Amino acid sequence: MPQLKCPLDQSHLVDSKTSGEESSTCDQCDGVWITTTTLESMEDNAASDDMVKGQRQYGKHVVDHECPHCGDQMIRFRYRGYNIEIEACPNDAGFWLDKSEDREIRDVMKQRGSNLGRAASAEKSWHSARRGDKVGVFQRLKQLFGFN
Ligand SMILES: [Zn+2]
Ligand SMILES: [Zn+2]
């Protein structure tokens, strides 16, 4: 398998595998590539009712970033209607999350936290994830979408 390149700065992505989930990260910009298989296995584990499969994409538009996997232009969209935009391979190979999405995820966590009275625990998980290594993005995603 050829080495994947970051769609933003063309750095080589570094494979990382944590608790059975595969991802590739960019050391340059901290972006993360996750495969569709990985995301779907995360979604299969989701217990919450608002995680309905097939309602993942909102506000799709094509962006000028090449998919690390196939080189086609990626599609940017809102993940399940949250205020988070991520990019996806047009051929369903996987998803790209960049640093700004990281920040938006944190904002959404704060919103959710205050809505649900869970601000303290959301903040705590965020900060403990921040101290971690590259596992962090998945932990935050899981917490955000209620996978754990
Ligand atoms: Zn990069
Ligand atoms: Zn692709």
Residue 108: φ, ψ to 5°: -65, -40
Q: DSSP 3-state assignment of 48? A: coil
Report CA(35)–ligand 2 centroid distance (Å): 10
Report CA(73)–ligand 2 centroid distance (Å): 8
Report CA(69)–ligand 2 centroid distance (Å): 5
Q: What is the pLDDT of residues 58-110, one digit of tens each?
A: 678 899 999 999 999 999 888 766 667 789 999 989 999 887 666 666 676 66
Provide the residues around ligand 2 (an ion) whose CB is within 5 A. 67, 69-70, 89, 91, 93
Q: What is the pLDDT of residues 5-38, one digit of tens each?
A: 999 999 999 987 766 667 898 989 988 898 888 7
**How many Å apart are CA 119 and CA 110, to the nearest integer?**
6
Ligand nearest to the CA of 88: 2
Residue 21: strand pairing partners: 18
**How many Å apart are CA 143 and CA 63, to the nearest integer?**
28
Ligand nearest to the CA of 69: 2
Q: What is the pLDDT of residues 111-120, one digit of tens each?
A: 665 565 544 5
